Structure 1
Amino acid sequence: MASTMGVQIGFVGTRFAGTDGVSLESAKWAQVLWDNGHVSHWYSGQSDRDKATSMVVPHAYFGHPDIEWINRRAFGTRTRTPDVTQRIYTLADYLKKTLYEFTRRFDLDLLIVQNALCIPMNLPLGVALTNFIAETGFPTIAHHHDFYWERDRFSVSAVTDMLWMAFPPALPQIQNVTINSFAQEDLSHRRGVSSILVPNVLDFENEPPQADEYSSHFRKDIGLEEDDILFLQPTRVVPRKGIEHAIALVAALKNDKCKLVISHASGDEGNEYLQVLMDLAESSGVDLRLCDHQVGDKRALDADGNRIYTLADAYSQADFITYPSIYEGFGNALLEAFYYRKPLLVNRYSIYVADIEPKGAKVISMDGYLTKDVVSKVERIIRDKAFRDEMVDFNYEIGRAFFSYGVLRRKLRALVTNFTGQDNL
């Protein structure tokens, strides 16, 4: 273990690339650790991190053909054939060797496993990590974003033995981290495993940058007028996001200036839901815009010379945020709305009710269906600037108090100190 200076930390996951929650939160953890002298390295199947500090192992990615072959045979059935078992353990043994190499190459002191020991997107990687940690006693923080028992597609399984062994393993060398109180309780009840609750965070200690000349083109580039009222749905197009409620809200406002814009792509779970939404918007008379091709990780120009905007640019130009999700592991878009000082509609999903609502946030909330009262409150927010400003300023302070980098810093200090004995975070 590092004696005086920073700790050499290895992040392990299936993918560290793009704007999924695991990639974003791991980057925040690495930033807070780096600010305090700890150096991060990256092990994954896909990566957009610095090549000099990364080790990319294609079989660690859940989209690798061999891993997809296993998943097709592991879930949706109760039994597996011997070749499935053999393939899983052969790949797990190979991946375990690469983990040994990763820790040696970068002389690591500590592993932080991001979601690879809780949701079985990559069974061999979970088994490999469990065996590696059991064999080496390697100090490990396991950051759990999603558990398999929270997802219907893993409910029928031919690999229950492996799920109990490795998702997550009950090993004394692992400190478990959960992102909401329900997950914390579930892990304790199901596995007898304790965990530290670390919510998702944003950098509320530093104000977001002001909208600039580049972001000011966003509305025009997606076909909106300057005086249109932009309702932003800042999520992927998947059924659990409840986007039909956003369409119903805009329809109920009966204002041709209100336009609904979705920032992220469809396709993760097929395009059928997207088609349903488009048909619903058309029949409801709602102007629905899909701008996922114009919103990316960073500002750029596409092949035709059109501007690519960041999600921050989209937030800066939005008038109202719709977030009518049916289920969320935490709710990053809600924190983003607080951070960018935008009013929002929230469908009271369970984690919001348990972990966020008690903090006193001021949002327009609904309970699974839209009411006239909800619509009238949204109308007031649109026309009453003083009311709107008071609401969003209050929510920013809620974010600063409970969901800031300062909160993450305190939590990580305790986790790292438990291994190093040094309070140097």
Structure 2
Amino acid sequence: MTPVAAFVSFRLGGNDGVSVAAESWRRVLHGLGFTTRTIAGEGPVDVIVPGLAIEAAAPPADDEVGAALDGVDLVVVENLLTIPMNLPASRVVARVLRGRPSILHHYDPAWQRARFLEVTELPPDDPAWRHVAINALTRNELADRGIAATTVYIGLDPDPSPGDRHATRAALGVADDEVLVLHPVRAIARKDIPAAVRLAEALGATYWLTGAAEEGYGPRLDAVLAMASCRVLHRPMPGTMSDAYAAADVVAFPSTWEGFGIPPVEAALHRRPAVVGRYPVADELRALGFRWFEPHDAEGVAAHLARPDPALLDANRAVAVRHLSLDRVTETLGAVLDEAGWLPVRAGGRDPVGAA
């Protein structure tokens, strides 16, 4: 019988980093011989458990989570046992998963966020579980806390759809000769919206922010956008992510903190220049070979736009394909599954998931 892997999180199926990474793992696990199920508090998923949502009024009952996991052989917990966005729900999920084959996929643990420093109960641990971190920084910090983890970088499709530049710009009302700076993020403080606006202003460009304000950032966002001296578009993508990158001339990502940073990698795969902040994991990714512009280097970005450097774009794409593709995730995640004895037999594992 084909084993079933379930993905569990606060929300899934969107354009946020956790959802994108979970989708890449879902594709990889399909290739390794699993069928999959998605379970979350919100989003276009297979099973909705309302109490898992970030803003849920009450956590789910143990039996409700257990019912959602009925028939599941392997559980992949996407950040829900890492960051206390809904701590009561995290406690329920941890309790239900005790002794059950599970991978805890860690993005940004509580100690990396000032507002969560007092929370020390996450992540939990259990002999039946394996821990995977999306970067070496978090893996090392987990080790300092007595939890052994493996780094599996986020992987993306190395050959994304090219997207429709003309149709997307037309839908946005952006002229052919208008420079468009794409900032494909949720509007929260650590995304450094003011730095992205300053970049667009310096380039004489239009600034396009795709995400809504969250975490109480709405009033600050309204003030920043109201003061902008450049044209501002604050609206969702009219099409796909590929369409958004096709429409853009520059991708802004001046974040002060990220667990990873998918947009600069997507920009590389779409052969777009990226402006990336100096958060710690960005330096880890730069060490792979990415050549990104600094947020203060508007002059360098302008020079590239005036006279594009194909070698830079080719080099960034090659780094993304070499280090951050679905094939690399298959290799590294497959090793984690094989060590645990959780690979399906037809994928080369020693025993089926959960076999004695």
TM-score normalised over the length of structure 1: 0.76
Secondary structure at the counterpart of residue 100 of structure 2: coil
Cα displacement string for residues 99-136 of structure 1 (whole angstroms, at most 9, x for unaligned residues)? 332333xx2221111111111222233222322233xx
1:34 is matched with 30
Query: Using the alignment, how far apart are the partners of 1:221 and 1:198 within structure 2?
Result: 37
**Do structure 1's residue 230 and structure 2's residue 180 form an aligned pair?**
yes
Matches within 5 A, 1:13-52: 13-49=9-45
1:247 maps to amino acid: V
2:63 maps to amino acid: K
Q: Contact (CA 8 Å) 2:163, 2:245: kept in 1 or not? A: no
Q: Contact (CA 8 Å) 1:6, 1:36: kept in 2 or not? A: no
1:244 is matched with 194
Match of 2:293 among 364, 372, 386: 364
1:108 is matched with 72
Q: Contact (CA 8 Å) 1:413, 1:423: kept in 2 or not? A: no
Query: Using the alignment, how far apart are the partners of 2:44 and 2:347 within structure 1?
Result: 28
Query: Using the alignment, how far apart are the partners of 1:320 and 1:264 within structure 2?
Result: 17
**Do structure 1's residue 60 and structure 2's residue 60 form an aligned pair?**
no
Cα displacement string for residues 276-322 of structure 1 (whole angstroms, at most 9, x for unaligned residues)? 322331xxx32222222xx1xxxxxxxxxxxx322221110111111
Match of 2:307 among 384, 403, 408: 384
Cα displacement string for residues 227-247 of structure 1 (whole angstroms, at most 9, x for unaligned residues)? 111111121222211122222
Query: Using the alignment, how far apart are the partners of 2:114 and 2:127 within structure 1?
Result: 29
1:97 is matched with 63
Return 5+ residue gaps in structure 1 as ranges: 68-90, 296-307
* Displacement after TM superposition at 1:268 (Å): 4.1
TM-score normalised over the length of structure 2: 0.90
Cα displacement string for residues 359-386 of structure 1 (whole angstroms, at most 9, x for unaligned residues)? 11122124xxx2xxx232112101113x
2:105 is matched with 143
Distance 1:325 1:317, change over 3 A: same
Distance 1:265 1:100, change over 3 A: closer
Distance 1:375 1:10, change over 3 A: closer
Q: Contact (CA 8 Å) 1:238, 1:273: kept in 2 or not? A: no
**Do structure 1's residue 349 and structure 2's residue 315 form an aligned pair?**
no
Task: Give the % identical residues.
Answer: 27
Query: Using the alignment, how far apart are the partners of 2:214 and 2:74 within structure 1?
Result: 36
Query: Using the alignment, how far apart are the partners of 2:176 and 2:85 within structure 1?
Result: 44
1:86 is matched with none
2:353 is matched with none
* Displacement after TM superposition at 1:250 (Å): 2.9
Over aligned residue pairs, what C-alpha RMSD do you find?
Answer: 2.0
Return 5+ residue gaps in structure 2 as ranges: 349-356
Q: Which shows bigger deviation, 231-240 or 332-341?
A: 231-240
Match of 2:171 among 221, 226, 236: 221
Match of 1:208 among 160, 163, 169: 160
* Displacement after TM superposition at 1:18 (Å): 2.1
Query: Using the alignment, how far apart are the partners of 1:103 and 1:226 within structure 2?
Result: 50
Q: Contact (CA 8 Å) 1:261, 1:289: kept in 2 or not? A: yes
Secondary structure at the counterpart of residue 44 of structure 1: strand
